[in-house]
Structure formats: structure tokens, C-alpha cells
């Protein structure tokens, strides 16, 4: 079997997606998600100009070898752009292999370990009353787990809170908008939000919260400790995690579980966090963390430390990543939860999906491969639009983490 060609499809049905399509001499093709929010064209160029010419002629069945070819072989290893490209190649190759064997991807990853995939929804509100109401709506929709973000009194911007009643989308057309932030206002307010939510909805619903890299280590320790009575499923990215040792400080003070890694891209970002058991959930998604081949190793390594997966699943990852994640989550033993932020309906004009949400869980069907297809004619109707993530400054103007 040989790879005969490959191409990159960029489209923007409501938001940008980059898709790699690899063709073979057996008439079977594979799809991989190469979307890196706000940096889409960097990955597309890297794939088109550097990776695709080297892929042609290779045997697509040799996934492990091809993975190392694009990881070790390029010398400038790691980094978000190149790992996103490696991930897309890897996903497309697994798609080809499973289609060739006429079986759903999860069968090649160990088969079924569970019947359904627990997911968490996003919920937010401009103020506490709206937030409580919106959490209730998600519970009514059947969700068993809800991520809660809330506007902070005195702050014009809070991470994850939709503006003008639109649904929250992590990207904005044009140049990055600037947001303003004050951690002390946030820290004083947010534990009270969870206290109220527990009062209203009781203790059964799983609650999650994304700190989005905005606390110092000691601030994060305070937050984790103050949230402890409300038994969160996790807090995510409590600190910007370049200084991984800082997680020790949080652990010394709290048993609130911690999820980290949506901006990571290899197992080396996790070694200290696993071996010292400084986190509980892996956020690194298949499309940024080296694809299925690498995440299998990461998940296996994590399993020895009783750490589970909780993959990133925001709308800036395409339906291909979500479907691939559902296969992966079906197969591994140490699955924890999957983020599920449904794409806008218009996305389904381009991507034909094979999964559904029902009563708090997701299900993937048994079509061969990853099971998602792309309609290229429809994709061509939605040309690329420049869109960027916001940047964030402290209220005195100091540049900060978004």
C-alpha cells in the first residue's frame, strides 16, 4: 500500500478548520484534523510545503515509523505547530488503517472498554443568577457534568463568558481583542458561585471550572482549597504551567482534582506531573498532542499513576478530533471525561458526523475508520477568515495570560 497524494483543506463554516486528507493507491483516504486556533495557516503551510512531499510513496500502514519520521526526523522537534501537523498525519493514517480493515477505529485501540462516554457541557453567565439558570438548562438537557464560568463583578471580561448572549466561541475575527483582568476580584467571587450552585442543584451533578492559567501558585492553592467543600470534578489550568513544580504547592493545600494540558504537545510536558502525581486529568487533545500514536503512550504512562484522560474538546477542534477522541475514550481503561462543546449546526454542512449525545453521554457508531467525512464542495463555500484568540492585560495594563 502506498500514499499517492495528500492535501490540506481549509474552511470556515462559522469558524476555521484545517483538514489533512491522505490518499492511497487502494482508493482509501484518511482524514486528520490540523486545526490550531489562530495559527491555522502555519500548520497548513508546514504540512503542504514540508510534510506532504515526504509522505508520498510511504506505506501508510507503518504508522509508528511515520510518526517518528516527522517527530525525530525533522530535528526541530516538539512545538504546537509541528505537533499539530504530526497529529493530523497520525490521525489520517489510523483512519486509513481502520478503513482498510473495515472496522471502527476503537477496535484497533483495544476494543470496547465501555458502552458510553461521559461528557461535560459548557455553561456560563454574565452574573451569578444567569449562571445558575444556565447550569439548570444544561442539567435539563441531560448533562451529568457541567463546566461553570461566571462574569465577575467589577470586571468587563471573564474567561469563558459569552458576550451579547451569543454562545461562547474561542476566537474572534480580525486582530486579537484585548481583555482586562483582576485576579483578586476573581478569587474573592468565584467560590461563592459554586456554593450557590451546590445549594440550588445538590451534590450529584459534576461541576468543573477552567481557571485558564490565571493564578499564581499560591493563588491557585487558595482557590483549590476554598473550592474544596463544593467537590468539583476538577479545576483546569489553575496556573500557567511552565513552572510545573508549582503544582506541588497546590497539592499541599487541597484535594480539589486538577486537569492540565490543553496547550501541551508531548509526553515530556507531563513527566513531572505524572511521576509526582501532581494532576488527575490529561487535557492534551489528539489533534495537538501527537495524534493517537502518542496519546496512547501518554495515556498508558498516566494509567500507572491512576491519572485519567479528560481531553480538550472545544469548538476549535474539528469533528474529526472529537470522533477520534470518542474512539480513543471507548477503548482505554483510564478514561475520565470528555469535553463536549457542540459545533454550530453549519459545521455539519461540511463534516458528516458519526456521533451523538444522549442523556449525558456520547456514542460513536460502528462505521469504519474514524467515521467522519468532509464534503469538499460544501467546504469551498466557506473560505478561511482571519480569527484570533484574545490577549489579556491586568487592569493596570500589564500583559497577562489569556
Q: Binding of Mg ion at residue 90 (CB under 5 A)? A: no
Element (H, E) at 30: strand 29-33
Nearer to Mg ion, 6 or 150 (CB): 150
Q: Binding of ligand GCO at residue 177 (CB under 6 A)? A: no
Which of ligand GCO, Mg ion, none interacts with 177 (beta carbon under 5 to 8 A by kind)?
none
Site for ligand GCO in 244-303 (CB under 6 A): 262
Rounded Cα distance between 295 and 335, Å, is 12
* Span near ligand GCO by CB under 6 A; candidates 10-18, 178-186, 214-222, 312-320: 312-320
Judge contact between 339 and 329, C-beta under 8 A.
no
| Terminal C-alpha separation, the chain | 45
Element (H, E) at 377: helix 376-380
Site for ligand GCO in 321-380 (CB under 6 A): 339
Which of Mg ion, ligand GCO, none interacts with 90 (beta carbon under 5 to 8 A by kind)?
none
Total residues interacting with ligand GCO, rule: CB under 6 A? 11
The residue with its CB nearest to Mg ion is: 210
Distance from the Cα of residue 393 to its chain's centroid: 24
| Smallest distance, Mg ion to C-beta of residue 160, A | 8
C-alpha cell at 214: 490565571
Q: Binding of ligand GCO at residue 170 (CB under 6 A)? A: yes
> Does residue 212 carry a catalytic annotation?
yes
Q: Which residue has the cell 499564581?
A: 216
Site for Mg ion in 245-304 (CB under 5 A): 262
> Running DSSP on this structure, what letter comes out for residue 51?
I
> Running DSSP on this structure, what letter comes out for residue 158?
-
Nearer to Mg ion, 37 or 134 (CB): 37
Of 23, 29, 71, 159, which residue is the catalytic one?
159
* C-alpha separations of 142 from 119, 167, 246, 323, 336 in Å: 11, 19, 37, 20, 18
Which of ligand GCO, Mg ion, none interacts with 314 (beta carbon under 5 to 8 A by kind)?
ligand GCO
CA neighbor of 234 nearest in space, from 214, 217, 263, 254: 254
Which of Mg ion, ligand GCO, none interacts with 162 (beta carbon under 5 to 8 A by kind)?
none
* C-alpha separations of 17 from 55, 315, 320, 374, 381 in Å: 22, 10, 10, 11, 13
Of 209, 212, 288, 312, which residue is the catalytic one?
212
Nearer to ligand GCO, 95 or 339 (CB): 339
| Smallest distance, ligand GCO to C-beta of residue 37, A | 4
| Smallest distance, ligand GCO to C-beta of residue 97, A | 28
Nearer to ligand GCO, 226 or 262 (CB): 262
| Smallest distance, ligand GCO to C-beta of residue 207, A | 14
Judge contact between 239 and 224, C-beta under 8 A.
no
- Draw the binding track, 196-235, toward ligand GCO (x: CB under 6 A; -: no contact): --------------x-x-----------------------
Q: According to CB under 5 A, which one of 90, 210, 219, 226 is a site residue for Mg ion? A: 210
Q: Binding of ligand GCO at residue 389 (CB under 6 A)? A: yes
> Does residue 75 carry a catalytic annotation?
no
Rounded Cα distance between 311 and 335, Å, is 9
C-alpha cell at 234: 476538577
* Span near ligand GCO by CB under 6 A; candidates 58-66, 300-308, 311-319, 324-332: 311-319
C-alpha cell at 47: 504540512
C-alpha cell at 99: 478503513
CA neighbor of 286 nearest in space, from 59, 46, 21, 86: 86
Judge contact between 33 and 91, C-beta under 8 A.
yes
Site for ligand GCO in 129-158 (CB under 6 A): none
Helix, strand, coil % over all residues of the chain, rounded to 5: 35, 20, 40
Element (H, E) at 125: strand 117-125
| Smallest distance, ligand GCO to C-beta of residue 184, A | 22
Q: Which residue has the cell 438548562?
A: 137
Q: Binding of ligand GCO at residue 81 (CB under 6 A)? A: no
| Smallest distance, ligand GCO to C-beta of residue 262, A | 6
Active site residues per annotation: 159, 212
Q: Which residues bind Mg ion (CB under 5 A)?
A: 210, 262
Q: Which residues make up the interface to ligand GCO (CB under 6 A)?
A: 37, 170, 210, 212, 236, 262, 312, 314, 316, 339, 389
Amino acid at each position: 500500500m502506498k500514499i499517492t497524494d495528500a492535501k490540506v483543506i481549509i474552511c470556515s463554516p462559522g469558524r476555521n478548520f484545517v483538514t489533512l486528507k491522505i490518499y492511497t493507491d487502494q482508493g482509501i483516504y484518511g482524514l486528520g484534523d490540523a486545526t490550531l486556533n489562530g495559527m491555522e495557516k502555519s500548520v497548513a503551510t508546514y504540512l503542504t510545503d514540508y510534510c506532504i512531499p515526504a509522505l508520498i510513496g510511504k506505506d501508510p500502514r507503518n504508522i509508528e515509523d511515520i510518526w517518528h519520521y516527522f517527530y525525530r526526523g525533522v530535528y526541530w522537534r516538539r512545538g504546537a505547530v509541528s505537533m499539530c501537523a504530526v497529529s493530523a498525519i497520525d490521525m489520517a493514517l489510523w483512519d486509513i488503517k481502520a478503513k482498510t480493515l473495515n472496522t471502527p477505529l476503537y477496535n484497533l485501540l483495544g476494543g470496547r472498554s465501555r458502552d458510553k462516554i461521559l461528557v461535560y457541557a459548557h455553561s456560563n453567565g454574565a452574573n451569578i443568577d444567569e449562571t445558575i439558570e444556565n447550569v439548570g438548562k444544561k442539567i435539563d438537557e441531560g448533562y451529568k457534568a457541567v463546566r461553570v464560568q461566571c462574569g465577575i463583578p467589577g470586571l468587563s471580561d471573564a474567561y469563558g463568558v459569552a458576550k451579547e448572549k451569543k454562545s461562547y466561541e474561542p476566537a474572534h475575527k480580525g486582530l486579537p481583542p484585548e481583555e482586562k483582568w483582576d485576579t483578586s476580584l476573581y478569587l474573592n467571587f468565584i467560590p461563592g458561585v459554586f456554593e450557590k450552585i451546590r445549594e440550588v442543584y445538590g451534590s450529584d451533578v459534576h461541576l468543573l471550572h477552567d481557571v485558564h492559567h490565571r493564578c499564581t501558585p499560591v493563588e491557585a492553592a487558595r482557590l483549590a482549597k476554598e473550592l474544596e467543600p463544593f467537590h468539583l470534578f476538577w479545576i483546569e489550568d489553575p496556573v500557567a504551567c511552565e513552572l510545573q513544580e508549582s503544582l506541588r504547592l497546590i497539592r499541599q493545600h487541597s484535594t480539589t482534582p486538577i486537569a492540565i494540558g490543553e496547550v501541551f504537545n508531548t509526553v515530556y510536558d507531563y513527566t513531572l506531573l505524572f511521576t509526582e502525581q501532581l494532576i488527575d486529568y490529561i487535557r492534551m487533545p489528539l489533534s495537538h498532542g501527537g495524534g493517537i500514536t502518542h496519546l496512547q503512550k501518554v495515556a498508558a504512562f498516566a494509567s500507572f499513576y491512576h491519572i485519567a484522560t479528560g481531553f480538550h474538546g472545544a469548538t476549535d477542534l474539528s469533528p474529526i478530533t472529537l470522533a477520534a477522541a470518542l474512539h480513543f475514550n471507548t477503548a482505554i481503561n483510564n478514561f475520565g471525561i470528555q469535553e463536549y462543546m457542540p459545533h454550530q449546526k453549519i459545521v455539519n454542512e461540511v463534516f458528516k458526523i458519526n456521533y451523538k449525545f444522549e442523556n449525558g453521554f456520547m456514542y460513536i457508531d460502528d462505521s469504519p475508520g474514524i467515521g467522519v467525512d468532509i464534503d469538499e464542495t460544501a467546504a469551498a463555500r466557506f473560505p478561511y477568515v482571519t480569527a484570533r484568540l484574545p490577549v489579556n492585560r491586568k487592569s493596570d495594563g500589564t500583559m497577562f495570560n489569556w
